[in-house]
Structures are given as C-alpha cells and as structure tokens.
Amino acid sequence: MKNIYKVLIAFIGVLAVSCNADDVENRPVIEAANAPVLLTPKSDFSIVLSKETENETATTVVWNDAKYEGSQTVVNYTIEIAKEGTNFATPIVVSNTTERFKALTVAELNSALVNGGFIEKQENKVDIRIKSAVGASGLPQYSNIYTITATPYHVPLASSHWLVGAATPGGWTWAGDAETEFPLVVGKTDVYKVTIVLKSGEAFREFLGNNFTSDGNWDASHNYAYYSGLGYTIDSELENAGDGDSNFKYTGPTGERVLTIDNGAKTITLD
C-alpha cells in the first residue's frame, strides 16, 4: 500500500511540473509595436506661468496611443520633459496617466520645471515627449519630441516676508511679482536676509504676507518705527522716512546691498 502511495505522489508531481511547463510555453507574448506620437503642444508653444493663475490649465498634452502586440493589457503613459538638447539624459516626470491626453495646470507644469532645474522668471527651452510602458515599466516606447518655451515663476517659502517700496526694484506695487521676497536664512528661525538693489533716497517697508495678487497684502507690516520702538540697532544708512507711514528710507548709494534683520540679536544691517 505504501508503494502505491509513493507512485501516486510521484505521478502527481510529474503532472504538476508538466502543467507548469505548458503554462509557460502557452503564455501570450507581448511585444512593442508602435511608439506613441505626441500631437500637442508643438514647438511653437510658449507660455509665461504665474502664481496668480496656478489653478488654470497651462496646456493639454495630447498624443496617439502606443501599440503593443499580444494579449490586451493596460498601457501607462508618462509625460516627460528635459532641458533642450540633453537627449533626456535626466528626464523629469510631469504626470502619469492611462489616457491619451492630460490637461496640465499652471502649478503642475511650474513644479516640474522648477524641480527640474529650469531657471525661474526666464524663458527656457524645454523638450517634451511621451513614454509608454506595459505595467509599471515594461517594454518602454518613446514618442517624437517637441521643444516648447516656458517661463516658470518663483515658488516662495511659506515663511518669507516681503519688501515693497520705491527703494526696491519693483517700486510701490505687487503687480507682476514686483515685490521682493525676504526669506528666512536656512537653518534659522529669526534671521531674514536678502541681496537687493536699493535706490538712494527712497523708502520701503517690510510686509509679513503675500496673497499673490496685483492688489498685494498691505495690512500686516513692519516699518522703521516698529523696530526702533523695540530697541533694535538699525544701520546708519537707514532712517525713518517721516512720510506718514514711518517707512524705512535708504540713504546710501544706489546699488546692490545685503539687508539682514536679525530678530534674535535685534539688529538691522546693510552690507
């Protein structure tokens, strides 16, 4: 009886191996057939991105489907960008989808550009293409390439303050990113520093917030009187403008300066 069981177990084992081999041999093969074709945006596309319109559509990327031969399977698409002429040595992923189009918001495109090392507030030549793949990354195919022009906006730190006034490059306005970001020093919680061109004889004020509209945020601010009243040591090239708002007045020569407000040491310096 034991011998019969042994023979039966051996038979079942051989049968299982045979079935597995047949499954492998009969498994359908998927092969790449035709790469996707990028339709839009084309190389005549140009856009200046702005914080004010970050929720609007920057462009809709459209392409023809990639083709794969074999059993039906899901094809995943990736929109990739790269610096012009780099042959996508280091591609930046903009978005993923299983559709053959994708509407990109201003914020999405801007984030990809900034994270990809493109220069803020300047025109950049950007190569764009579509990558298709079966599953996560199998059998990749790449579309044709178009080179678009895009100007990304600066993404400020949430902790930043802002400088506005006739002494600053943007003047007394918030329109068109005219305000100057006044960021915290990295690793500090109470020191603000910025390199800025200041105009001699003109005034400015420090604002604590920014609503990123042309109307700006005129409410919460710190002026010369605020700091002098707290006993800060203020650089001799800054004085009270005496203009009704007690703004800072810059009395030094017009040129590039480094403004630092150290709230720990209670000093305001110009270097």
The CATH number of residue 239's host domain is: 2.60.40.3620
Q: Do residues 105 and 207 share a domain?
A: no
Do the domain assignments include residue 184? yes
Do the domain assignments include residue 17? no
Q: Kindly give the parts of the chain with pLDDT less than 50.
A: 1-2, 7-12, 14-27
Q: Do residues 108 and 189 share a domain?
A: no
Q: Do residues 200 and 223 share a domain?
A: yes
Q: Do residues 147 and 169 share a domain?
A: no
Do the domain assignments include residue 57? yes
Do the domain assignments include residue 200? yes
Q: Do residues 214 and 140 share a domain?
A: no
Do the domain assignments include residue 75? yes
pTM: 0.67
Q: Give the phi and the psi of residue 180 in degrees, each rounded to 5.
A: -105, 125
Distinct helix (H) and strand (E) counts, the chain: 3, 21
Measured CA to CA, the distance from residue 75 to residue 140 in angstroms comes to 10
Q: Given 93, 125, 151, which residue is the final one in a domain?
A: 151
CATH number (domain holding residue 37): 2.60.40.10
Measured CA to CA, the distance from residue 94 to residue 142 in angstroms comes to 15
What does the pLDDT read at residue 29? 80
Q: Do residues 166 and 220 share a domain?
A: yes
Do the domain assignments include residue 107? yes
What does the pLDDT read at residue 213? 83
What does the pLDDT read at residue 15? 42
Q: Given 128, 151, 174, which residue is the final one in a domain?
A: 151
Asked if 173 contacts 164 with a C-beta cutoff of 8 angstroms, the reply is yes
* DSSP 3-state of 25: helix
Do the domain assignments include residue 145? yes
Q: Do residues 90 and 202 share a domain?
A: no
Q: Do residues 86 and 109 share a domain?
A: yes
Residues spanned by the domain of 242:
161-270
Q: Do residues 88 and 166 share a domain?
A: no
Q: Do residues 82 and 126 share a domain?
A: yes
Q: How far is CA 191 from the centre of its chain?
A: 26
What does the pLDDT read at residue 215? 85
List helix spans (H) across 72-157. 106-115
Q: Do residues 132 and 48 share a domain?
A: yes
Do the domain assignments include residue 11? no
Q: Do residues 146 and 167 share a domain?
A: no
Measured CA to CA, the distance from residue 138 to residue 77 in angstroms comes to 12
Q: Give the phi and the psi of residue 248 in degrees, each rounded to 5.
A: -75, 135
According to DSSP, the residues that pair with 255 across neighbouring strands are 198
Q: How many domains does the chain have?
A: 2
Q: Given 151, 172, 195, which residue is the final one in a domain?
A: 151
The pair of three-digit structure tokens given for residue 76, joined into one six-digit string: 């995943």
What does the pLDDT read at residue 262? 98
